[in-house]
Amino acid sequence: MIALMGTQFGVTSDSAGQFSQGGLSAGIYVMNANGSGVVKVTSSAVPDELPAWSPDGQYIAFDSDAAVYIMKADGTALRRLTSGTETDIMPHWQP
């Protein structure tokens, strides 16, 4: 899953730890549009998936273990938003 924001994008690596560059552990990564500057911004033991950038580009919402979380785009200030039911997935922002 790729989420675009300006000149950067977020990528979810699958549970096998693979995406286009290969060999990266499961989680959410942020990188420049040209593929440089890859930074892993999540580190949980379960897959973190479906990143969604906030309209202002400062935050990323994502789901992890059937709960929705929010964090700053650099991976700091992680906060859980939902209680974690099977329907707490695929977060989206509204303008």
pLDDT at residue 5 is higher than 60: no
> Quick one: pLDDT at residue 20?
45
Annotated domain spans of the chain? 2-80
pLDDT of residue 76: 96
Q: What is the pLDDT of residue 13?
A: 63
pLDDT tens, 25-84?
678 888 887 878 888 899 888 888 888 989 888 999 998 888 999 999 999 999 999 987
Mean pLDDT of 13-35: 66
CA-based torsion, 14, 3, 52, 73: positive or negative: positive
Q: Report the 10 Å Cβ neighbour count for 74.
A: 11
CA atoms of 48 and 92, how far apart (whole Å): 15
The Cα–Cα gap between 21 and 64 comes to: 23
